[in-house]
Chain A
Amino acid sequence: MRMAILAALLGMPAAAQETATGNPIDAYFEKAWKERGVAPGARADDYEFLRRATLDVLGRLPKPDEIRAFEKSNDRARKIDELLAHPDAAEFFADTWMRILLNYRFEETAPLKMNFPAFRGYLKETWAKDVPYRDFASQLLSDHGDNVKKPASNFFLVTLDPMEPPHEITARTTRVFLGLQLQCARCHDHPFEKYTQEDFWGLTAFFNGLKPKARTTFDGFGIKLMAEPKGAMTIPDSKTEVEPRFLGGAKPDPSTPPLKAYADWVVGHKQFPRAIVNRLWAHFMGRGFVEPIDGFTDKSRPSHPELLDSLVAGFEKGGSSLRSLARTILASRAYQASCKAPEDAEPSLHAHMILKPQNPVQVLNMLTWTLNMDVFLKQFYEGYLKNFKDDNFFAKSYGNEEVFRMYLHLFAQGLLAPSGTAPEESRYTGSVRLALKLMNSNDLQNLVKAEWGRLAEIMKKEKTPEGRLSEIFYTLLSRPPDAQEKARYLAYIQRKNGDKKAYEDIYWVLLNSSEMIFNH
């Protein structure tokens, strides 16, 4: 504050105001909105903010008691810190990165190739301990040996295809960590990028010799990732031999082990921080500086290049902490802007929050909570485990909660948008199948009953129509009903003579509403 006054006294330009809130995003957009004559949107109210931030950080809806606590003390900065440190944030981080690293797919043989419990535990710990992103990437790119002691090695283990040279590792690691699309260069020089086929296979040669070694049994638990570098490899269907080399042609130091050399190159690449800042920005803001988020090219024009640069600089200065980066974004005025926008709003200016579709993890968590599916899922899990009872061969690899969870995410993914490749876009797009499930499925509808599930709890806890209506709204839409809604639904309850079916109908309506399925 003092700085701002001082700046004003000295007649310094507006940019100095950056120090007023300390948030580079605010400083940037204040200027950008002014320059473009855009009126910044309203600030999201506390309910909207809490629902959004909880969905974005914990991957689930806020619970009524969490909402009530925030009503009493609505310090957003403190809430952000609380969310970032919440155990559910680690769960959501693990679910999210499991999907990213497995390329949004779940091959049914994956549990035979890797150790799911060890890997998910490792991902959770990464968030819980706020491990620098640089170190996280380094481990994923170079850890090898025992897949329990070195759990990061499970990433390469699951990515390796025994029938193919390790080109998928090249394509996936450059896409995930550098935001570059190299896979076309696997077969031919990229037609409008500078990458050549030799560039692609030069990178792949770093992984030549990488292979899984089963320790005892044929399951995903006791596998070692063997890194016995073989160096130069031949490009398939050709006679060209390529040595390990980085994009652009530089050769690694021969005394450094290849995986280490590759990891060092990736985390030192100028795209490395840009890709993760872009990914996180897109996650929170609904749109990347560059889209698709892993499609940076020489011709990419980020929507806000200076802001991207400044966030990258802050990220690197802050020891590449994902939590700090998330905190900066969450604290910004742009993040906390209301989603309510005029027809002609330009989304890329972020004067209003962009409406975000929920991803499968969020949808599954949403259903689990609003329909009180915990009990149902527990039974389902026990039934699932029975599949492996007298079949020791698969029991260890498949009979655990982590693999079961993948199946659930796959189920939710199928509800949102059935897809083969399931890229980032496997989010809610308006699928009839989900609508029909939410409207009619007996399994789910049995949980929208006044005698059963979350609604039963509400009916028992609250005795008046107003109380029940309000609790239903807190549970599903994370806010109290407005005056119009109150009038409409109380009239409906009255028309039905207070019958419990009226509450079921209201619960059903909110569950199926647009407001419910979007993150706003």
Chain B
Amino acid sequence: MDDCRHCSLGRRDFIRVAIGGAAATALAGKFHQPAFAQTRPAKAKAVILLWMQGGPSQIDTFDPKPGVETGGPFKAIGTKTPGLTLSEHLPRLAQVSDKFSVVRTLNSKDPNHDTARYLLHTGYRTDPTIEHPHLGSLIVHELGTKAEGLPGCITVGKDATIGSGYLAPELAPLLVEKIDNPLEDLKSPPGVTAFRLEDREKLLWAQNEGFRTGHPDPRVESQRKAYERAFALIRSPHLKAFDLSQEADDAKKLYGSSPFGKACLMARRLVQAGVRFVEVSLADWDTHADNFNRSKALMEQLDPGMSGLLSDLDRLKMLEETLVVWMGEFGRTPRVNGGQGRDHFTRNFCAALAGGGLAGGRVIGRTDRLGLEPVDRPVSVQDLFATIYGQLGVDPEKKYMTPVGRPIKALEGGLPVKELLS
């Protein structure tokens, strides 16, 4: 009954709701027993999520099937990892395959973009009665952040539209839309000097003071805080983390010149500055038509960007404490449609994980000859989340209280993929 997970109305919740109030909270504390092997000491301190918007084809990337009727035109190439081949368009990743592991049997039941994106960002199915937090928001809620003035969770690239859910609004990912103009909304427009901004700020606080005294509402306070954070952000000493021109040419070259490569480099700079969670998105994997040409073009961005990121993190001794996750909302059908495209497919698709104390150079799960079914070791989305949370020392069993007083766990179900734990 996978479908019931969204309800998350377990017995304990029932007791808590039925009794209500502080007594129940105390009682529930007694019920709280961390599940087996779920909480481990933290190994990772930061996360970089490489989000493949649209759902990348697993057969054309990390689970190639050359020579069979579902295989498509791409050849497979060998890697340093025993049992792992990659698409011929991922040659640089193949060279650093010892740094990451691949899960080939991730699966879900959700073939719709919006809801699957939600699932792969929260660990939960959408539910009209509650909004779950982005995993980055939850991680920042648990671990805090270190970069003064910067938000703990930043999304670079296309709008991911998942927010902080039932957690505080300041935990929502800050979106940096334009990679070539990352400071677009983070710096004053031309003509507004630092002095003028100070004038404006003084006038604004004076204007707000009048309203605040007559309106003792927490939302007014929340609005004031949002502006305080915005001013802090504009003046943050860490804003230079967004400035790629400070990087040496060698480093820039390593990541490639594509927007995705630049975003990966920016992610590394942000993590260096102390940002806890950075999401970088590479859009356009929704290849219902012309899958092969489009996937190839995307891999030409992905390959240098991701391999550059892993090598660079390794070179800077940051990989051990930085968990890098590659995934999208689902995979694509092995069957090629009439438009040389592949459609949505959820039975088995790929994720790749690197660093953050996880083992590299491993491959989890195997799919059948045509890539139609997992042969062994299916991994659920919840398992993937349990693995991620576990590396950060976030307890998946921890309960939060939503604004309407409903208790909910960080994650419902799921066990860490133990083959990845080094």
A431 and B159 contacting across the interface, CB-CB below 8 Å: no
Given A432-B230, A441-B185, are A186 and B3 neighbors across the interface (CB < 8 Å)?
yes
Chain B positions within 8 Å of A340 at CB level: 214-215
Min Cβ gap B348→A in Å is 18
Min Cβ gap A214→B in Å is 17
B4-43 vs A: 1/0 string, CB under 8 Å?
1001010000100110000000000000000000000000
A414 and B159 contacting across the interface, CB-CB below 8 Å: yes
B203 and A419 contacting across the interface, CB-CB below 8 Å: no
Q: When chains A and B are docked, how far (Å) is the Cα of A517 from the Cα of B191?
A: 25
Q: When chains A and B are docked, how far (Å) is the Cα of A10 from the Cα of B339?
A: 85
A418 and B159 contacting across the interface, CB-CB below 8 Å: yes
B359 adjacent to chain A (CB < 8 Å): no
Chain B positions within 8 Å of A517 at CB level: 223
Q: When chains A and B are docked, how far (Å) is the Cα of A136 from the Cα of B186?
A: 46
B162 and A419 contacting across the interface, CB-CB below 8 Å: yes
Chain B positions within 8 Å of A183 at CB level: 127-129
User: Which one of A366-374, A376-384, A508-516 contacts B?
Assistant: A508-516
Chain B positions within 8 Å of A343 at CB level: 216
A440 and B234 contacting across the interface, CB-CB below 8 Å: yes
B219 and A184 contacting across the interface, CB-CB below 8 Å: no
A440 and B169 contacting across the interface, CB-CB below 8 Å: no
Q: Give A180-204 interface residues, CB cut-off 8 Å to B.
A: 181, 183-184, 186-188, 191-192
A216 adjacent to chain B (CB < 8 Å): no
Q: Give B151-209 interface residues, CB cut-off 8 Å to A.
A: 151, 159-163, 165, 169-170, 172-175, 184-192, 196, 199-200, 203-204, 206-208
B185 and A420 contacting across the interface, CB-CB below 8 Å: no
Chain B positions within 8 Å of A420 at CB level: 114, 117-118, 121-122, 126, 131-132, 161-163
Size band of the interface chain A makes with B: 35 or more
Chain B positions within 8 Å of A485 at CB level: 207, 210
Chain B positions within 8 Å of A345 at CB level: 216
Chain A positions within 8 Å of B220 at CB level: 355, 514, 518
Chain A positions within 8 Å of B404 at CB level: 291-292
Chain A positions within 8 Å of B229 at CB level: 432, 435
In the complex, residue of chain B having the shortest beta-carbon distance to the beta carbon of A448: B189
A514 and B128 contacting across the interface, CB-CB below 8 Å: no
Chain A positions within 8 Å of B399 at CB level: none
B230 and A436 contacting across the interface, CB-CB below 8 Å: yes
Given A425-B131, A488-B203, A513-B208, are A187 and B111 neighbors across the interface (CB < 8 Å)?
no
User: Which one of A73-81, A101-109, A148-156 contacts B?
Assistant: A101-109
In the complex, residue of chain A having the shortest beta-carbon distance to the beta carbon of B199: A505
Give the one of A107, A187, A506, A517 with max B CB within 10 A.
A187
Give the one of B170, B190, B223, B227 with max A CB within 10 A.
B223
Cross-interface CB contact of A442 among B159, B184, B227, B234, cutoff 8 Å:
B184
Chain A positions within 8 Å of B160 at CB level: 418
B92 adjacent to chain A (CB < 8 Å): no
Q: When chains A and B are docked, how far (Å) is the Cα of A357 from the Cα of B165?
A: 17
Q: When chains A and B are docked, how far (Å) is the Cα of A421 from the Cα of B128?
A: 7
Min Cβ gap B221→A in Å is 8
Give the one of A105, A341, A343, A435 with max B CB within 10 A.
A435
Cross-interface CB contact of B208 among A291, A342, A439, A514, cutoff 8 Å:
A514
Q: Give B59-83 interface residues, CB cut-off 8 Å to A.
A: none
Size band of the interface chain B makes with A: 35 or more
Chain B positions within 8 Å of A107 at CB level: 112-114
Q: When chains A and B are docked, how far (Å) is the Cα of A184 from the Cα of B13?
A: 14
B294 adjacent to chain A (CB < 8 Å): no
Cross-interface CB contact of A509 among B17, B207, B234, cutoff 8 Å:
B207
Q: Give A150-191 interface residues, CB cut-off 8 Å to B.
A: 161, 163, 171, 175, 181, 183-184, 186-188, 191
Q: When chains A and B are docked, how far (Å) is the Cα of A417 from the Cα of B161?
A: 9
B226 adjacent to chain A (CB < 8 Å): yes
B248 adjacent to chain A (CB < 8 Å): no
Chain B positions within 8 Å of A510 at CB level: 207
A421 and B219 contacting across the interface, CB-CB below 8 Å: no
A520 adjacent to chain B (CB < 8 Å): yes
Q: When chains A and B are docked, how far (Å) is the Cα of A188 from the Cα of B5?
A: 11
Chain B positions within 8 Å of A387 at CB level: none
Min Cβ gap A308→B in Å is 20
Given A418-B161, A439-B230, are A431 and B203 neighbors across the interface (CB < 8 Å)?
no
Q: When chains A and B are docked, how far (Å) is the Cα of A345 from the Cα of B217?
A: 10
Q: Give B304-350 interface residues, CB cut-off 8 Å to A.
A: none
A509 and B203 contacting across the interface, CB-CB below 8 Å: yes
Q: When chains A and B are docked, how far (Å) is the Cα of A188 from the Cα of B131?
A: 21
Min Cβ gap A477→B in Å is 9
A303 adjacent to chain B (CB < 8 Å): no
Chain A positions within 8 Å of B192 at CB level: 445
B215-250 vs A: 1/0 string, CB under 8 Å?
111011011111101100110000000000000000
B14 and A492 contacting across the interface, CB-CB below 8 Å: no
Min Cβ gap B130→A in Å is 8
Q: When chains A and B are docked, how far (Å) is the Cα of A484 from the Cα of B209?
A: 12
Q: Give B81-119 interface residues, CB cut-off 8 Å to A.
A: 111-114, 117-118
B163 and A440 contacting across the interface, CB-CB below 8 Å: no
Chain A positions within 8 Å of B163 at CB level: 417-420
B206 and A501 contacting across the interface, CB-CB below 8 Å: no
A339 adjacent to chain B (CB < 8 Å): yes
Min Cβ gap B184→A in Å is 7
B113 and A513 contacting across the interface, CB-CB below 8 Å: no
Q: When chains A and B are docked, how far (Å) is the Cα of A452 from the Cα of B174?
A: 30
A465-509 vs B: 1/0 string, CB under 8 Å?
000000000000000001011001100100000000100011011
A423 adjacent to chain B (CB < 8 Å): yes
Chain A positions within 8 Å of B187 at CB level: 440
A508 and B200 contacting across the interface, CB-CB below 8 Å: yes
B212 adjacent to chain A (CB < 8 Å): yes
A355 and B170 contacting across the interface, CB-CB below 8 Å: no
Q: When chains A and B are docked, how far (Å) is the Cα of A514 from the Cα of B225?
A: 11
Q: When chains A and B are docked, how far (Å) is the Cα of A291 from the Cα of B406?
A: 13
In the complex, residue of chain A having the shortest beta-carbon distance to the beta carbon of B227: A435
Q: When chains A and B are docked, how far (Å) is the Cα of A355 from the Cα of B221?
A: 12
Give the one of B130, B208, B215 with max A CB within 10 A.
B215
Min Cβ gap A218→B in Å is 12
Q: When chains A and B are docked, how far (Å) is the Cα of A514 from the Cα of B404?
A: 25
A433 adjacent to chain B (CB < 8 Å): yes
A181 and B129 contacting across the interface, CB-CB below 8 Å: yes
Chain A positions within 8 Å of B174 at CB level: 432-433
Min Cβ gap B207→A in Å is 5
Cross-interface CB contact of A105 among B114, B203, B226, cutoff 8 Å:
B114
In the complex, residue of chain B having the shortest beta-carbon distance to the beta carbon of A172: B128
A65 adjacent to chain B (CB < 8 Å): no
A184 and B7 contacting across the interface, CB-CB below 8 Å: yes
Min Cβ gap B401→A in Å is 16
A295 adjacent to chain B (CB < 8 Å): yes
Given A435-B227, A440-B187, are A357 and B206 neighbors across the interface (CB < 8 Å)?
no
Min Cβ gap B412→A in Å is 13
A234 adjacent to chain B (CB < 8 Å): no
Chain A positions within 8 Å of B4 at CB level: 187-188
Chain A positions within 8 Å of B223 at CB level: 428, 430, 514, 517-518
| Listed A/B pairs (18) with beta-carbon separation below 8 Å | A103-B128, A105-B114, A107-B112, A183-B129, A339-B214, A341-B216, A417-B163, A418-B162, A419-B161, A420-B118, A420-B163, A428-B223, A429-B169, A431-B169, A432-B169, A436-B185, A442-B190, A514-B212
- 10 closest residue pairs by CB, A with B: A430-B222, A340-B214, A420-B118, A187-B4, A418-B163, A445-B189, A435-B230, A436-B185, A430-B226, A515-B211
Q: Which B residues are within 8 Å of any A CB, using their own CB?
A: 1, 3-4, 7, 9, 14, 17-18, 111-114, 117-118, 121-122, 126-132, 151, 159-163, 165, 169-170, 172-175, 184-192, 196, 199-200, 203-204, 206-208, 210-212, 214-217, 219-220, 222-227, 229-230, 233-234, 404
Contacts A183-B127, A428-B219 supplied; 14 other A-B pairs, CB < 8 Å = A105-B114, A292-B129, A414-B175, A417-B172, A421-B126, A423-B131, A430-B225, A432-B226, A432-B233, A442-B184, A442-B190, A482-B210, A510-B207, A513-B207
